Structure 1
């Protein structure tokens, strides 16, 4: 890591550390939506929220969404720098991936076909995003199921009525024969606005699995994606906004058989459509929101086994289809000058249809076993409904801000549950903000857990339940040079859903059993370098253990598999001239544990810590309408592992342009 830090220090030494008022003011008074479901200054909420701005997104032409999120404080995305088409798992503050709620334009998005409910980040190109708000801590009061560790709210690009026609385009090419193309049009006039864009992404990739014995026979596992997005806006006499939308993405890729195991004919494809309408009505000082979102997902896997890497290769195929309906009606009411209320009712309906089959072969004790298998989850029974009623009061006066609220949820299978939150904060002289949070959350069982062959035949499943305690302080220097936020947290989960095998009957099914306790802290200093740039630093630490029943006893052990205990980030952004911008970043990921499934039971392996050095350079032409950029990742060609038995990308480079008229 010494070389990378010396390089970063040399860059910083060239910068003039003088303050600029506007930068710090923006940090203090930046308006966010996700904290309260209506526009709110960050200085007026005690929730821990971070923003990825449009400017940051514009400087991410060589990154995908997983890589961008992997750079944020307290976030790690496993697989972000592995083969581009490999699945991605997001860990917010060390929580498992399905404990983070992903939202797009105010609506939760799920994959109803999966064993967990996490969203596939490969479906959404960075080019379609306007901003991202990352809200940490349990947030089920306003957002319902899955918001155990927090919420990642992705806000897409909208139409701009200030221009009638404003076309835009971007293109990039780089390592692994990677091509990115994006084109669209934006604009509007008076009461009407629109934004539409198409993205194509294709790469030859690398071999997904690592060639442990250096045979040189592992092939590359390529990936291809096409995505379309359209947002419309209609404004009626400043009293109503009607905003229909359509998002469609489809991708195709190749897979390998397993860790250290190649496969020549294992392929997958997926399509995802999201459509609906968002409505906003203004009734005096009252804002009423009526939103509907429909999501349809299809996934297919096929392993023909036409080319066999071993005599035990079989044949398999899988078809997965899921549909989600989401409706949300809520209002924001200023009750008093110092008191406001936000409340509403939402409804979710999920349904899935799964068919898998194949032929298997394996060897045990010198004997080769073979057979056929098939599994079906029928859409006629694999469905669930949720109805939630929620409300929160916000008090703000003389620097004191308090939010308190609750939610009652009714589930069509397990019944009822409730959550609450209390969030006070105090801003002193517009320099110090102290805050605390106590909030509860829940995660409902997935359709797969409730309706597959592994459903609980005895008691059914209850929701996983969590409580989070959080406290911290944020400091804004009087000279507007420094902005520092520090936070500590503890998250306790009970009724965790575990996969259980009966030692007597050998039957396996899901049960509510585990207790998960996690704790950690984050510190985020930001130094403003005049109007030339910023130095952003962050350090995040997390530790935790699960308590589960083994036989007649409870056993506790560290279980944050593939999640580093510590992550350090340092990014220096600097405008050398008004047209030339450079950024240098260092990421240090601590040691992690992973599982080796080549033996039974699976053995725990240790993955070494690693450091990545990344750089970005951009030059602007034509009054900033044209940007030419180069994005270099892993400049030192560090050899590291994100997932045991799978490859990670070495030094790689992408270059391109972005044009906005």
Structure 2
């Protein structure tokens, strides 16, 4: 058996531990814009405050006065939290993912958390796992520091039950062993808005959306040419850079971004797992991500859009040998190359009341694993080709109809397997608003899979805003499913007497939630709570002899998500989130692995002066059940942890900003998952420049 195969098997064992953990013991709408479009207009364009008006005998305003007016304009645009905006003062005026149509946040019944570009800058997020750590309803598990495998458990569902979309592209990797997405390599530098949509969403999005959907929309060029650049250094031999150029000219818009993240020495291996006398070697991670978003209005009725995103990342990590295992003396290499592409045409009819979207999506995710002493790499490639069409039609004022169809082909290629599977689907959705007080979204979808045949799903989500108190009451009910991965269907491991099962059926779910949101004091204070419940059946697990996989398990997850946000003054805001989750094997009643029962976070943001922004976050995660690093023991108790993070930035002038952050202020030592140290105290600082003076 080659060392390369063993290295690849170790990487798969990390994913397998996630699999085991997943199994546990067992207003007005805007019909012209839609999520599937590569370039929805989510937020108003950046406005630069004009020079202050003055009389002919008044002296010209000072540079500092103009600077203050610009910063005041920027501050005014972020003062009122709307719905589930993540950071005090952030504005989430429109949301796309719950309906596929750009929709005011207060008209939606869905539980959705929005993270804006401003939030990302204020909190200095560098990767998508960083963003997701404090989002309610989620548990993020990352096997070490940056670049290490990262999984997300949404509302207690499995790690492979969340669909991830970038600019309308389903970026799930068909080459992954159980279809669980690895979030480790998604950088945050070019994100304009990120929406975390919780609850079953297969009625609109198809397979993988049992727990919910994470939708990322990258920056679109607007206005005069704008260049930005940043550089950052700090603990763990960190050295990060970004460069961006964006703008629009007549009928053409463009955005080009380059991001480089490097962490050269991140302690990951717990000392107690090392043989006597052996020193731990820190992880070394390097990620280069290049992205472009282009759009051309060929005429008043026809637009073409293009999105291309390419990531080249390499992680040097300490693998394991033996069983029970022990860390190796030399590092292994895991490299990934990811290409995500969408080409799209948008054809408008009837003065924009009907818009047709035609898209072609292509993704290619290639992973290489090399173990010490063996130059031969184990390579796995997952590709997806998808054609989609949908039409958004305004059938009456505030009433929209979406009809669409898709055809998708997934393929996996490894050293011992080449297989593919196809899926066709059609869906229809109605979005209605009545008297600006009652809102309803309903959709139904039918999938036809080459392997397991027909599968129907649906979702209904009403919301009502009560007069006088302006209380929003909301609820939703939906079904979801997760198709078996190509590896589960076709990939055999005869050396381990383990074989695929081509007769596996989809995992299925039914879920509902109900809650309220209450604004006070002209929406300067908002609080709310939502109860959720999911029943999942046909879960894929091991057979009695552990030689194959079968549909045998079921699970129940339920809990509450509660938040309160307050803009105490014009300069100080605070937000708190609390999540309680109960996730159990429905057959035994035992708690599922890697689902903490409690998680809470508090984030406060303060602007003591116009130029300075300070922020602090406290995150608490309660204890949970886990497996050992090599998976040899299950159901072990993992202690919870509390983290404190600090952020600050100072605008030297309209073009230059300096920033600094402190992660894990009190140097808390914890493992998440068990067997992998999370980063300790980290101190970082840098500088950011913008050509147009908008920071």
Matched, 1:187 2:226: no
Residue of structure 1 in register with 2:665 after alignment: 635
Residue of structure 2 in register with 1:310 after alignment: none
| Alignment match of 2:370 (pick from 302, 325, 340) | 302
State the alpha-carbon separation in 2 of the partners of residues 639 and 464 from structure 1.
37
User: Which digits, 9 at most, give the CA deviation of each residue in 1:244-291, with x for residues without a partner?
Assistant: 121111111112224762441311111011122133222121122222
Judge which range, 233-242 or 339-348, deviates more: 233-242
Report the alpha carbon displacement of residue 597 of structure 1 after superposing the two structures with TM.
6.0
Matched, 1:463 2:506: yes
Report the alpha carbon displacement of residue 172 of structure 1 after superposing the two structures with TM.
0.5
State the alpha-carbon separation in 1 of the partners of residues 524 and 578 from structure 2.
20
Residue of structure 2 in register with 1:436 after alignment: 475
Matched, 1:531 2:563: no
State the alpha-carbon separation in 2 of the partners of residues 270 and 168 from structure 1.
27
Distance verdict in 2 for CA 1:253–1:338, change over 3 Å: closer
- Where do 5+ consecutive residues of structure 1 fail to align? 1-19, 307-314, 356-375, 548-553
Q: How many residues align?
A: 596
Contact map agreement 1:103 1:154 (CA 8 A) in 2: yes
Residue of structure 2 in register with 1:557 after alignment: 590
Matched, 1:269 2:308: no
- Once the two structures are superposed, the pairs formed by residues 347-362 of structure 1 within 5 Å of their partners are 347-355=407-415
Contact map agreement 2:332 2:369 (CA 8 A) in 1: yes
- Once the two structures are superposed, the pairs formed by residues 388-399 of structure 1 within 5 Å of their partners are 388-398=425-435, 399=437
Residue of structure 2 in register with 1:647 after alignment: 677
| Alignment match of 1:589 (pick from 621, 642, 646) | 621
> What is the CA RMSD across the aligned residues, in angstroms?
2.2
Distance verdict in 2 for CA 1:86–1:21, change over 3 Å: closer
- Once the two structures are superposed, the pairs formed by residues 113-124 of structure 1 within 5 Å of their partners are 113-124=175-186
- Higher RCO, 1 vs 2 (CA within 8 Å, ≥6 residues apart): 2
Judge which range, 278-287 or 534-543, deviates more: 278-287
Report the alpha carbon displacement of residue 480 of structure 1 after superposing the two structures with TM.
2.6
Residue of structure 2 in register with 1:312 after alignment: none
- Once the two structures are superposed, the pairs formed by residues 534-545 of structure 1 within 5 Å of their partners are 534-545=573-584
State the alpha-carbon separation in 2 of the partners of residues 269 and 251 from structure 1.
6
Q: Give the 3-state SS of the residue equivalent to 2:120 in structure 1.
A: helix
- Once the two structures are superposed, the pairs formed by residues 558-637 of structure 1 within 5 Å of their partners are 558-559=591-592, 561-596=593-628, 602-623=633-654, 625-637=655-667
Residue of structure 1 in register with 2:22 after alignment: none
Q: What TM-score, normalized by structure 1, do the two folds share?
A: 0.86
Residue of structure 2 in register with 1:377 after alignment: 417
Distance verdict in 2 for CA 1:458–1:649, change over 3 Å: closer
State the alpha-carbon separation in 1 of the partners of residues 547 and 465 from structure 2.
53
User: Which digits, 9 at most, give the CA deviation of each residue in 1:388-414, with x for residues without a partner?
Assistant: 110111221121112222111000011
State the alpha-carbon separation in 1 of the partners of residues 577 and 503 from structure 2.
43
Judge which range, 651-660 or 199-208, deviates more: 199-208
State the alpha-carbon separation in 2 of the partners of residues 154 and 410 from structure 1.
27
Report the alpha carbon displacement of residue 539 of structure 1 after superposing the two structures with TM.
0.2
Judge which range, 408-417 or 25-34, deviates more: 25-34
Q: Give the 3-state SS of the residue equivalent to 1:55 in structure 2.
A: helix
Matched, 1:474 2:512: no
State the alpha-carbon separation in 2 of the partners of residues 136 and 555 from structure 1.
26
Distance verdict in 2 for CA 1:458–1:572, change over 3 Å: closer
Q: Which runs of 4+ in 1 moved over 3 A?
A: 20-29, 60-63, 213-216, 454-459, 597-600
Residue of structure 1 in register with 2:347 after alignment: 281
Judge which range, 461-470 or 54-63, deviates more: 54-63
- Once the two structures are superposed, the pairs formed by residues 137-152 of structure 1 within 5 Å of their partners are 137-152=199-214
Q: What TM-score, normalized by structure 2, do the two folds share?
A: 0.82
Residue of structure 2 in register with 1:411 after alignment: 449
State the alpha-carbon separation in 2 of the partners of residues 655 and 408 from structure 1.
50
- Once the two structures are superposed, the pairs formed by residues 1-80 of structure 1 within 5 Å of their partners are 23-24=79-80, 26-27=82-83, 30-61=93-124, 63-79=126-142
State the alpha-carbon separation in 1 of the partners of residues 501 and 298 from structure 2.
55
Contact map agreement 1:62 1:654 (CA 8 A) in 2: no
User: Which digits, 9 at most, give the CA deviation of each residue in 1:587-620, with x for residues without a partner?
Assistant: 01100111126685x2421111211011001101
Contact map agreement 1:260 1:645 (CA 8 A) in 2: no
Matched, 1:228 2:267: no
Distance verdict in 2 for CA 1:248–1:345, change over 3 Å: same
Contact map agreement 2:490 2:501 (CA 8 A) in 1: no
Residue of structure 2 in register with 1:551 after alignment: none
Report the alpha carbon displacement of residue 456 of structure 1 after superposing the two structures with TM.
7.0
Contact map agreement 2:194 2:216 (CA 8 A) in 1: yes
Report the alpha carbon displacement of residue 121 of structure 1 after superposing the two structures with TM.
2.1
- Where do 5+ consecutive residues of structure 2 fail to align? 1-75, 85-91
State the alpha-carbon separation in 1 of the partners of residues 199 and 562 from structure 2.
15
Matched, 1:426 2:464: yes
Residue of structure 1 in register with 2:24 after alignment: none
Residue of structure 1 in register with 2:19 after alignment: none
Report the alpha carbon displacement of residue 189 of structure 1 after superposing the two structures with TM.
0.5
State the alpha-carbon separation in 2 of the partners of residues 393 and 330 from structure 1.
13
Contact map agreement 1:209 1:262 (CA 8 A) in 2: no
State the alpha-carbon separation in 1 of the partners of residues 458 and 661 from structure 2.
44
| Alignment match of 1:489 (pick from 504, 510, 532) | 532
Q: Which has the higher strand share?
A: 1
State the alpha-carbon separation in 1 of the partners of residues 426 and 391 from structure 2.
12
Residue of structure 1 in register with 2:23 after alignment: none
User: Which digits, 9 at most, give the CA deviation of each residue in 1:384-440, with x for residues without a partner?
Assistant: 111111011122112111222211100001111101111111011372110111100
